[in-house]
């Protein structure tokens, strides 16, 4: 469903993402882990079509993002790491904006869908307030609402749990699982290893722009040769290039 082929991003001589290859099956939840500054957000922004890759391909649902950007974006739902929104709109007006951008028909059924989603994310009482008065977590939930509005086949999510209270985090986990069981493919970066362990079918660990390990959490554990939970595995797998990785990168 999602295919990244030799995907590379170079920022002014600095290689943030270095020829990564990833293949995600339809209906799977794919976890993308890695230390700070590893290149997760960069990869995800490229997949969402916000920044252009320096080289390599992104193929989603059999379509190349570079060739058919509109069709791919229509198929994808995107949740960024920080919920920057139009502060002077109300939550409801923001959802209408999204509906317009994705060319959703304005039918009674659609209105029903909006109120259903607002209810799901516990935002019904806030829908007519300006977004500038929302808290961080509320904005985050509104973004999730917006990304599900057009029933995407692929969800691309950057650190979904940041700023959510335990109840909302639980809710989001549930929604992701349900979406996946309905056939939606989810590509998710996260720092929360429990979340990764709990809901991801497959995990990749990226470090200094390169994939250092890929597989189910079971396979990763075997690869690292450690017992115990994913935390040990993660620390073991990412310890190698920790020191002096700046030097390593600037050699590129």
Partner 1 sequence: MKNFYLLIKPRFFAFRNQLISSKGGKRKRIFILGGLGFAFCCGMFVVSSRVLMHFQSVEVIGDLVARYLLSMILLTFFSLLIFSHIITAVSNLYLSKDLEFCHSTPVSVEELFLSRSFFTLMDSSWMLLIFGLPVFMAYAYVYRPGAGFYFTLLHMNLAMIIIAAGAGILITMLLVYVFPAQRTKDIIMFIAILMIVALYFLFRFLRPERLANPDSFFSIMEYLSALKAPQSPYLPTQWITETLWDSLTVPGGKNHMFAVTLTWVTALSMVVINVWVAQAVYIAGFSKSQEAKKRHTVGTKILDVFVRCIKKPFGEDLGAIIAKDLRTFFRDNTQWSQLILLGALVVVYVYNFSVLPLDKSPIKLDFLQNELAFLNMGLAGFVLSAISARFIFTAVSAEGEAYWVISSSPMRLRQYLWGKYVYFLFPMVFLAEVLVIVTNYLLDVTCFMMFLSSIAMFFMVLGIVALGIGFGALYANFKYENIAQLSVGFGGVLYMIVSSIFIAIVIVLEAGPVYILFTSDASGTTVTAFQWLLIIASFLMVVLINILAIFKPMKMGLKALREYEG
Ligand X SMILES: Nc1ncnc2c1ncn2[C@@H]1O[C@H](COP(=O)(O)OP(=O)(O)OP(=O)(O)O)[C@@H](O)[C@H]1O
Based on its alpha-carbon atoms, the radius of gyration of the chain, rounded to whole angstroms, reads 19
> Of 62 and 166, which CB lies nearer to partner 1 in the complex structure?
62
> What is the C-alpha separation between 141 and 72, in angstroms, rounded?
24
Cβ proximity to ligand X: between 12 and 125 the closer is 12
Contact yes or no for 36/73 (Cβ under 8 A): no
Residues that contact Mg ion, how many (by CB under 5 A): 1
Task: Give the tokens for residue 63.
Answer: 């379509």
Least distance (Å) between residue 246 CB and partner 1: 17
Per CB under 6 A, 190 contacts ligand X: no
Subset of residues 12 to 51 that bind ligand X, contact rule: CB under 6 A: 14, 16, 34, 36-42
Shortest distance, CB of residue 82 to Mg ion, whole angstroms?
9
Binding site for partner 1 (CB under 8 A): 11, 48-52, 69-71, 73-74, 76, 78, 80, 82, 84-86, 88-90, 93, 96-103, 128-130, 132-133
Which does residue 102 bind out of Mg ion, ligand X, partner 1, none, counting CB within 5 to 8 angstroms by kind?
partner 1
Distance CA 151, CA 179 (A): 10
The whole-angstrom separation of Cα 195 and Cα 221 is 16
Tell me if 34 sits within 8 A of 206, measured CB to CB: yes
Q: Which residue is nearest to ligand X (CB)?
A: 41
Give the three-state DSSP class for 223.
Answer: helix
Nearer to partner 1, 229 or 246 (CB): 246
Which CB atom, from 159 or from 202, has the smaller least distance to partner 1?
159
What's the length of the chain? 252
Distance between CA atoms of residues 112 and 120, nearest Å: 12
Place of tokens 């391909």: 57
16 binds, among partner 1, ligand X, Mg ion, none (CB under 5 to 8 A by kind): ligand X
101 vs 78: CA distance, rounded Å: 13
Residue identified by tokens 């050699």 is: 251
**Min dist. Cβ of residue 162 to partner 1 (A):** 16
For residue 130, list its beta bridge partners: 90
Q: Cα separations (Å) of 7 from 45, 56, 193?
A: 12, 4, 25
Binding mask 91-130 for Mg ion (x = CB under 5 A): ----------------------------------------
| Binding test (CB under 5 A) with Mg ion, winner from 41, 208, 233, 238 | 41
Q: Which does 70 bind (CB under 5 to 8 A by kind): partner 1, Mg ion, ligand X, none?
A: partner 1
CB nearer to ligand X: give 51 or 101: 51
- The closest alpha carbon to 176, from 56, 71, 79, belongs to 79
**Which residues are at the interface with ligand X (CB under 6 A)?**
11, 14, 16, 34, 36-42
**Which residues are at the interface with Mg ion (CB under 5 A)?**
41
């Amino acid at each position: 469903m999602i295919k990244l082929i030799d995907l590379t991003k170079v920022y002014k001589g600095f290689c943030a993402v270095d020829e990564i290859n990833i293949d995600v099956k339809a209906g799977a939840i794919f976890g993308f882990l890695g230390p700070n500054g590893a290149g997760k957000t960069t990869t995800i922004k490229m997949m969402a079509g916000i920044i252009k890759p320096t080289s390599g391909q992104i193929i989603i649902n059999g379509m190349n993002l570079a060739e058919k950007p509109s069709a791919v974006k229509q198929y994808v739902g995107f949740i960024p790491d920080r919920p920057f929104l139009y502060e002077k709109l109300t939550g409801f007006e923001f959802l209408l904006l999204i509906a317009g951008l994705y060319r959703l028909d304005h039918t009674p059924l659609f209105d029903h869908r909006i109120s259903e989603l607002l209810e799901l994310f516990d935002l019904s009482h806030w829908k007519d307030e300006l977004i500038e008065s929302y808290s961080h977590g509320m904005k985050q939930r509104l973004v999730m609402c917006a990304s599900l509005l057009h029933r995407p086949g692929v969800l691309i999510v950057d650190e979904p749990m940041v700023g959510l209270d335990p109840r909302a985090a639980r809710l989001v986990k549930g929604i992701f699982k349900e979406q996946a069981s309905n056939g939606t493919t989810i590509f998710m970066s996260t720092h929360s290893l429990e979340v990764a362990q709990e809901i991801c079918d497959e995990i990749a660990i990226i470090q200094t722009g390169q994939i250092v390990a890929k597989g189910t959490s079971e396979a990763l554990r075997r690869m690292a040769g450690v017992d115990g939970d994913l935390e040990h595995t993660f620390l073991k797998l990412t310890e190698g290039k920790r020191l002096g990785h700046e030097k390593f990168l600037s050699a590129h």
